[in-house]
Structure 1
């Protein structure tokens, strides 16, 4: 077991501790060793400088550092170099250091106590044995910085540990001098190396995509649905930019309180040669609390009744009597895959009405057997490493956690959640952004192809049944 402490967190602690490079060796972890004071002292006493790190269910990470030994002897100890800290709050990088205030009561040791900092105490982790309860440990300690440590930034404790001592992990690391060996992160979603060859292969896969000829359709239709400002139009612009070889803004995009897209617009993607690819990305009005498309209009969209470039009007919903309404849509006019587009930075504050609207849409899609995927946009805003290098997306723990949350939100497999960064501020194409976007598009097209193949199988089965009935009639 190597521990949960990330290399970037070790680097930050190294900076706060000072005095050169440090190595961090895991001594104790409550998920492995049990939340037991005796075990803590057996594994951590007389090991020199240590750092204690707590992780909670809300994604907050905090703890304390000491230069001196832990021991089972009761009493306060002085350590002017000790400090408390926070590394994350609610899954967001939040760096705060709380140094010793110099009153001499920096550490507190006791045989039936876990790691304890301060005289009052500022951070008391636990006493006695604590069991695992439903995936977390309900520690019986507390956090009240101010007795032995200085809270110069005036932060509220609720903004460090979310107002509770329930943790998913507590670790103690021995800290020694020496150059740290950086661990190679294990990707949570494996892909080939991100190079020109991989990019060219994705472009070829998408360029050569064609619906099954026996279905007599020339293109697959991908419907984009999502809240206002989530990035539906921007995703189309990103894909179109890649195939045109320059940044394009064909679809209106930006930030606005109400949807910039008001019409049902099936966009073609064009190559540099001018030819169009065999799918359309269908943009539509953004979902809103009290406006946007409703369940009936969604049903008409899925079944191909809505004419191209139809302007949605909240005051006058579309009906079979609407001018241009397609009463007998062909298979080509129907939707073959639906993509929910969600802004990764606002998922947690999505209004319940919009979530329920999307789930009601899903009920329709499931009844019709239409596959669904989720585009999780703006992932560069979640993680600094991804912001610097898009290729880090599948080694980012923060992105992985958000993929899992969104998967649970709409009840889709994690493999159906596709993180992307759209072209937004860029003036020229970027290999990493392009590869990530094409990876997502290729998967979406795979889902559409699976759906069309299922239709083909159903048609074949239906044809076989008809043939059998006709033979039966002939025998009679």
Structure 2
């Protein structure tokens, strides 16, 4: 569905969809009639362009990034009288930068709209929404409309006018659209990250790719470990539960998930994932205590985790001292299967801008340790549904969402990682049954993490062959060299 316009309007398609739903009489085409930044803010021009045009939507945009207005099914006119309209309603679409869909239906239908020569759009006697009176000129990048908002004839839904227009009538734009029956031919939004079409076939392909993943046998690897690090409450445990749910075929919560000041996860836990037949997949998602500025995992812990020195189910102290080689259970000679082959930092998309600078610094210090070991890094952006209403309504909108794209850019800058290493996900949290779109997004992320681990293993193989060749050359020359485990530090 797409809008037909004679000039460019700024009402997004998603808001047209919402208005269409509220009007409730089928698909609608929105044609822009009047725009104060182009046509001027004066009653004469408004009536010239909008009178006798049938149903219309009036939309106001203010400096606080709120969007609100009114719909009438009757004609605007300049006859100086109130017009009855039982279908009229006021609405808000956005408040202070957040999409906020509220419909304010008409109560006193006799006073739905007023047609006056010196008035712009006027809704309700009293006045529920008086847009402007006489000519208003722009000053300082906005129009200080000579109007007001005061609920009376329209049901305020327990909101004050200030909770709709931020307590002022200063607007950056006012538009009036004619509303007619018909399908909009929507121009597809170009995704910022392309994927195959999301359907059952794609879900099956992702599942097969992950089930068939096998690490190189050259090192004796039965599975690879992926270490999850991130702030308390970011969704590390929930990501494991989501992946486990997909392969179990039902919602699963093996990893405990609750809200707590210092998080629920206390121990280093390498979780396996089993398919319904009971077979174990060839990777482990390793959960850890949440990162905090002054508590939890430190640089020594991080290094030991990467090397495989931390024993499974070791419970981290909330405060120093960290684990040391003298501690009981410390793994002095870890097996290759106990080492980490990919590190993923788990970040809450909805609060990415609120991470304390000291915590960012701590994460960056961990990254330097990971870099020195050559281990690949990525980031999971969780809770994308809380960061963007479009994604909350439909998970497959994630790669067309500008908000999620902005979050990817933000995390890419914070962690210094390429954008294709930033992987949005929505964990199962409120759902009682599986959703293909949620599963697809999670498996896309997991498959990429396994690809990173696979690339790392290939690099290790190349290094091992080079060391072996070097050793052979030295042996032929009569020299000797003490061999070393190329995986060890």
Residue 211 of structure 1 aligns to a residue in which SS? coil
Counterpart-to-counterpart distance in 2, 1:77 and 1:396: 45
SS at match of 1:224: strand
Whole-Å Cα distance in 2 between the matches of residues 163 and 221 of structure 1?
56
- 1:269 alignment partner in structure 2: 273
Q: CA deviation at 1:78?
A: 8.6
> Any idea what the Cα deviations from partners look like across 1:88-135, whole Å, max 9, x if unmatched?
23333343659899799999989xxxx99899x9768994598xxxxx
One of 9, 19, 36 as aligned partner of 1:13: 19
Matched, 1:175 2:178: yes
Quick check: 2:144–2:170 contact (8 Å CA) kept in 1? yes
2:99 maps to which residue?
92
Q: Deviations over 1:336-371 (max 9, x none)?
A: 222222334444544444444333333333444433
Alpha-carbon offset, residue 285 of structure 1 = 0.8
For residues 149-170 of structure 1, the C-alpha deviation after alignment (integer angstroms, 9 at most, x for no partner) is 9895554758756999797xx5
Correspondence list, 1:353-392, <5 A? 353-382=358-387, 386-387=391-392, 389-392=394-397
Deviation at 1:375, TM superposition (A): 2.4
For 1:409 and 1:57, locate their aligned partners in 2 and report how far apart those are by CA, in whole Å. Answer: 29
Point out the more displaced range, 217-226 or 289-298: 289-298
2:31 aligned residue (25, 29, 32) = 25
Q: 1:53 to 1:330 in 2, by over 3 A?
A: farther
Aligned to 1:443: 448
2:370 and 2:64 mapped to 1: Cα distance?
A: 32
What do residues 53-82 of structure 1 show as CA deviations (whole Å, max 9, x unaligned)?
5678987544566887899xxxx9998989
Separation of aligned partners in 2, 1:268 and 1:381? 28
2:486 aligns with: none
What SS does the aligned partner of 1:23 have? strand
TM-score normalised by length of structure 1? 0.73
Are the structure 2 counterparts of residues 473 and 393 from structure 1 closer, same or farther at C-alpha, using a change threshold of 3 Å? same
Paired residue for 2:149? 146
Which of 403, 411, 425 is residue 420 of structure 1 equivalent to? 425
- For 1:243 and 1:20, locate their aligned partners in 2 and report how far apart those are by CA, in whole Å: 40
CA distance in 2, matches of 1:251, 1:366: 29
- CA separation of 1:122 and 1:243: change in aligned 2, threshold 3 A: same
Residue by residue over 1:11-34, the C-alpha shift from the partner in whole angstroms, topping out at 9 and shown as x without a partner, is 43346678876411357899xxxx
Distance in 2 between residues matched to 1:164 and 1:145, nearest whole Å? 6
* Shift in CA distance, 348/60, structure 1 to aligned 2, threshold 3 Å: farther
What is the alpha-carbon distance in structure 2 between the residues aligned to residue 36 and residue 123 of structure 1?
A: 17
Aligned CA distance change for structure 1 residues 106 and 70 (closer, same or farther; 3 Å): closer
C-alpha displacement at 1:267, in angstroms?
1.3
Verify the 8 A CA contact 1:36 1:129 in the aligned structure 2. no
The TM-score, its normalising length taken from structure 2, stands at: 0.72
| Alpha-carbon distance in structure 1 between the residues aligned to 2:303 and 2:117 | 65
* Deviation (angstroms), 1:462: 4.9
CA deviation after TM superposition for structure 1 residue 266, in Å? 1.0
Aligned to 1:134: none
Q: 1:221 aligns with which of 222, 225, 239?
A: 225
Residue 200, structure 1, aligned to residue 204, structure 2: yes
Residues 1:140 and 1:456: Cα distance change in structure 2 (over 3 Å): farther
Please state how far the C-alpha of 1:417 moved relative to its aligned partner. 3.0
Partner of 2:338: 333
Instruction: Using the TM superposition, give the Cα deviation of residue 312 of structure 1 relative to its aligned residue in structure 2, in angstroms.
Output: 0.3
Q: Residue in 2 aligned with 1:281?
A: 285
Change (3 A) 1:292 1:77: farther
Q: Distance in 2 between matches of 1:427 and 1:98?
A: 34
Show the counterpart of 2:309: 305
> Secondary structure at the residue paired with 1:252?
coil
The aligned residue for residue 133 of structure 1 is none
Say what the alpha-carbon RMSD is for the aligned residues. 4.8
Unaligned runs of 5+ in 1: 131-137
1:234 aligned partner: 238
Shift of the 175–424 alpha-carbon distance from structure 1 to 2, 3 Å rule, reads same
CA change 1:68–1:362 in 2 (3 A) is farther
Deviates more, 1:76-85 or 1:431-440: 76-85
Deviates more, 1:444-453 or 1:202-211: 444-453
Is the contact between residue 214 and residue 223 of structure 2 (CA under 8 Å) also seen in structure 1? Answer: yes
Count of residues in correspondence between the two structures: 453
Whether the 8 Å CA contact 1:37–1:129 is kept in 2: the answer is no
